[in-house]
Amino acid sequence: MLPLKDKDKPVVQKLLSAGCCARCVLRFCCVSVQAAYRQPQQETLKELHCFIGDTTDSGAAKSTEENKDEPAEDPPSKRPKLEPSLTGAELDQGSTAEKLKDEESQVCVVCLGILQELCDKNQAIKIVEAVKGENYEFDTLVLSVSLPAQLCVREHSCWLHVKTQLREKSIILGKDDVIQVKEAFKWIMQSLVAKELGGVAVVTKSPFEVGVEFTHPETDADCHFLYVSNSSNIFTPGLFFLSHYPCPPIQTTTRCSAQDVQCLHTSVFVAGRYNKFCRSLPQTPWVIDGERRMESSVEELIATPIVSAFRAQGFNFSSSGREDVDVRTLGNGRPFAMELLNPHRSRFNRVQMKQLQEKIKQIKVTHLYYHREAMSRMKEGEEEKTKSYTALIWTQKPICSEDITFIDGIKDLTLEQKTPLRVLHRRVLAVRPRVIHSMTTRFLDPHHFYLGLKTQAGTYIKEFVHGDFGRTKPNLCQLLKTETDILELDVEVGWKPLI
């Protein structure tokens, strides 16, 4: 039995005669029992007719509809005769059945078919086939529905219609309590889809979203009157709305049409550390004048196997700093994180992650793991204050090991570093003070030595060595009183644990 109260009777009658489908009637009566929506709509319609006692006089509803401009007549429900349902129905089965058939085939003026044929088992099968076709891996899914905007206008029109017609009868019809079309659609479809998927839970919150979109081109113009309005509250009862839009909404000949099912899995984040051992690998694809320089990049080497393992649609790569193309990254490795967009596979255990990590060639990736907050964690790790480097230095004048030992004694040397010419095209021109905390030297031959540096983050090492046209002061040329140049540079990534 439908959970309707006596006071709903005039509402039910008005709605049915306005061309509402059975489920929309339930919605307007604020029925929140999900089972009521799940039963076949034909049955609901039958029960509604029984409820309002509209069994034999099929003409009554019709006449109400036709004479809607006249003051509302006494709703039949007010008659003392209650619950006539079954007996009445049996009396005149023939004509009732015919009438019901008629109403069934009519497209609902409010939901435009969404809660009629568009939420049955066939529709569920269509959705499930689309989902299966995409080959996602998932335990649960959330169903989302996108409806044509005009449903809002139609719903409001119908609501206004009932409200104005029944005002004298002091029927309170709170709009906020009306069950949303979306809500009702989901109540019906969720269980159907779950059944077709063979036990996958269709829930309200899941990383995997299946979107169903409906359009109804025939009535797209319904909303147009809203564009011309500059009135701030066009949904105030009567006035503007009534003068621009028919109440109740006009009957249509076509139903909404379902668009392609859209599947989307929320992003998965992967993080780890990488070491780079070669001096000819840029961090990101390097393109000059539309021409590719160097065949690969750190980003591509890491991303390609991961993206293909997660079967992701795309990715965003981010690392805690970066190194030049000719600089190696040693030590613990540089932290990086990746957002995998719309991954079709998202579950990996520890062993699988390890195997994935080993698939990354040319650079070494360690500590690979995946997590939702990986990006923010890495950004926190970015705050490392001191950086360590090893540089191979060339000197123009021949040197002996005694010539360079004084460098080991230099502590907290402050440089005035003008934005290096090499990055000046994209960075603000400024003089930045940067501190070299300490340096160590290792003599190699009369023209070469290794220089270890611990510096404040943001120090440009290459410029400290060659001086950058005298724009970094002091520089190693000045300290050693000879031309110096940097032949190799390695970054030693610190020991601060990331995970």
* Catalytic residue ranges: 324
Q: Which CB atom, from 441 or from 484, has the smaller least distance to other proteins?
A: 484
- Tokens representing residue 302 in the block: 């890491």
Q: Which CB atom, from 91 or from 400, has the smaller least distance to other proteins?
A: 400
Shortest reach from residue 479's CB to other proteins, in Å = 15
Whole-angstrom distance, CA of residue 82 vs CA of residue 5: 12
Cβ-Cβ contacts under 8 Å for 144 (sequence gap 6 or more): 209, 210, 211, 212
Q: Which residues of 383-413 are buried (b: 16+ CB within 10 A; e: fewer)?
A: eeeebbbbbbbbbeeebeeebbeebeeeeeb
Shortest reach from residue 393's CB to other proteins, in Å = 10
Shortest reach from residue 426's CB to other proteins, in Å = 6
| Tokens 């990996």 found at | 348
Q: Which CB atom, from 351 or from 430, has the smaller least distance to other proteins?
A: 430
Q: Residues, the chain, total?
A: 499
Cis-peptide into 248, omega within 30 deg: yes
**E strand residue ranges, 267-326:** 268-276, 286-288, 291-293, 314-319
* 321 backbone φψ class: left, alpha, beta (φ>0; ψ -120 to 50): left
Shortest reach from residue 191's CB to other proteins, in Å = 56
Shortest reach from residue 300's CB to other proteins, in Å = 22
Shortest reach from residue 422's CB to other proteins, in Å = 7
Q: Which CB atom, from 250 or from 487, has the smaller least distance to other proteins?
A: 487
Shortest reach from residue 438's CB to other proteins, in Å = 25
- Tokens representing residue 486 in the block: 């940097």
Whole-angstrom distance, CA of residue 111 vs CA of residue 256: 9
Give 308-311 contacts, CB < 8 A, sequence gap 24+: 309/345, 309/348, 309/356, 309/359, 310/268, 310/270, 310/340, 310/343, 310/344, 310/345, 310/346, 310/348, 311/135, 311/343, 311/344, 311/345
Decide: residue 68, CB within 10 A, 0-12 exposed, 13-18 middle, 19+ buried: middle
Q: Which CB atom, from 182 or from 448, has the smaller least distance to other proteins?
A: 448
Residues contributing to the site for other proteins (CB under 8 A): 288, 394, 396, 398, 418, 421-429, 447, 466-467, 469-470, 485, 487
Q: Which CB atom, from 406 or from 469, has the smaller least distance to other proteins?
A: 469
Whole-angstrom CA distances from 393 to 328, 357, 399, 441, 443 are 15, 35, 11, 10, 10
Q: Which CB atom, from 314 or from 398, has the smaller least distance to other proteins?
A: 398
